[in-house]
Amino acid sequence: MTCKTLLVHLDDSTHSTARTEFALELAGRHDAHLIGLYVVCQDLTQPMFLHGERALVEIREAQHEANLKDAQARFLAADERAGRGVEWRAPGGPAVEAAVLHARHADLLILGQDDPDDPSSYIARHFVEDVLMSSGRPAIVLPYAGAVRSFAENVLIAWDGSRESARAMADALPLIKRAKFVTVMTLQRHPDSEASAGIDVAAWLERHDIQAGFAAAPKVAGVPTGALLLNMLADRHIDLLVMGAYGHTRVQERLLGGVTRTMLQSMTVPVLMSH
């Protein structure tokens, strides 16, 4: 994968500015074209009153238009400070469908973890999961808590031998070539999986001029793999986790793997995910 077209998701949340700054820095690092995609979803939880419905709809539309213009102004102002050329898009229609359609024409997506304490981040339920599962593109998901002070200098690759983890590792190549430290952490999905697989993965990375160490995740009875990964991120001061995204979506049903769900809910560092 090459990083020549990046797409960053923008909305009305307090974290949208941080995603923009991160995306601009990453675009500069890879000399990439950056698309700012503004998609939001109206809050349908507010009651609609029969006699005031038309007026309420007009108020919501006016507020949406004001928010859109404000988001565009902030995005273009950030670009002007960075001295790069960017592209602004604000498609209509359902948020997930619009995001997926535009994501398929990008090399890498930059999304944000859902912040349950920020009502302005309301997009659609499972927005990040649905875009990951449906777009066919890799995504960097940024945590909502804390600032991203370093990125892709100390990388952990979660390897379990699956198609998803192989895809994620290949997608991460252009991002981790400059890393100071790369560790391939083998995760046992099945009792008979071999920890020595990390050696083969490290050898493959070396042929891409990436020096990597390897280690095996210890099996601890009663401790989920997701929790083990979170502890490793903290213990090793990791600033990028690379992992496969597991699950699928069907009408009225969404099934995610346990590790994927844990990371999307509790991530503490940027995570590159591929499905």
Tell me, yes or no, whether 201 and 236 share the same domain.
Answer: yes
Q: Residue 148 domain-assigned?
A: no
In total, how many domains does the chain have?
Answer: 2
> Which of 224, 225, 235 shows the shortest CA–CA distance to 269?
235
Maximum alpha-carbon separation in the chain: 69
For residues 112-127, give the mean pLDDT.
Answer: 77
Q: How far apart are CA 66 and CA 68, in angstroms?
A: 5
Is residue 20 within 8 A of residue 8, CB to CB? The reply is: yes
Point out the least confidently predicted range of 8-17, 190-199, 240-249. 190-199
Is residue 219 within 8 A of residue 251, CB to CB? The reply is: no
Buried b (16+ CB within 10 A) or exposed e, 22-43: bbbebbeebebbbbbbbbbeee
- Point out the domain boundary residue: 121, 142, 163: 142
Is residue 106 within 8 A of residue 52, CB to CB? The reply is: no
Q: What is the CATH number of the domain that holds 177?
A: 3.40.50.620
Tell me, yes or no, whether 108 and 185 share the same domain.
Answer: no
Q: Residue 25 domain-assigned?
A: yes
Distance separating the N- and C-terminal Cα atoms of the chain: 14
Q: What is the per-residue pLDDT across 194-221, written as a single tens digit (0 to 9) for each?
A: 556 778 898 999 999 999 998 887 777 7
Tell me, yes or no, whether 200 and 109 share the same domain.
Answer: no
Q: How many CB atoms lie within 10 A of CB 195?
A: 16
Q: Residue 44 domain-assigned?
A: yes
The dihedral region occupied by 259, where left means phi > 0, alpha psi between -120 and 50, and beta the remainder, is alpha
Greater confidence, 123 or 126?
126
DSSP SS3 for 10: strand
Q: Residue 201 domain-assigned?
A: yes
Express as a percent the part of the chain with pLDDT over 90. 58
Tell me, yes or no, whether 175 and 110 share the same domain.
Answer: no
Tell me, yes or no, whether 186 and 122 share the same domain.
Answer: no
Q: How far apart are CA 218 and CA 223, in angstroms?
A: 10
Is residue 151 within 8 A of residue 227, CB to CB? The reply is: no
Tell me, yes or no, whether 193 and 265 share the same domain.
Answer: yes
Tell me, yes or no, whether 137 and 173 share the same domain.
Answer: no
Provide the strand spans (E) within 14-102: 33-38, 86-89
Tell me, yes or no, whether 9 and 123 share the same domain.
Answer: yes
Q: Residue 147 domain-assigned?
A: no
pLDDT at 123: 59
Is residue 131 within 8 A of residue 94, CB to CB? The reply is: no
Would the CA dihedral through 85, 90, 96, 100 be positive or negative?
negative
- Point out the domain boundary residue: 142, 163, 195: 142
pLDDT at 43: 53
pLDDT at 250 over 80: no
For residues 78-84, give the mean pLDDT.
Answer: 88
Q: Residue 197 domain-assigned?
A: yes
pLDDT at 251: 43
- 26 phi, psi to nearest 5 deg: -70, -40
- 157 phi, psi to nearest 5 deg: -105, 120
Q: Residue 72 domain-assigned?
A: yes
Tell me, yes or no, whether 188 and 130 share the same domain.
Answer: no
pLDDT at 253: 46
Tell me, yes or no, whether 122 and 170 share the same domain.
Answer: no
Tell me, yes or no, whether 54 and 160 share the same domain.
Answer: no
Is residue 178 within 8 A of residue 152, CB to CB? The reply is: yes
Q: Could you tell me the pLDDT band of residue 252, with boundaries at 50, 70 and 90? A: very low
Tell me, yes or no, whether 193 and 64 share the same domain.
Answer: no
Output the six-digit token pair for 248: 């699928």
Output the six-digit token pair for 164: 């998803």
Its domain, for residue 61, covers 5-142
Q: Residue 74 domain-assigned?
A: yes
- Point out the domain boundary residue: 119, 142, 165: 142
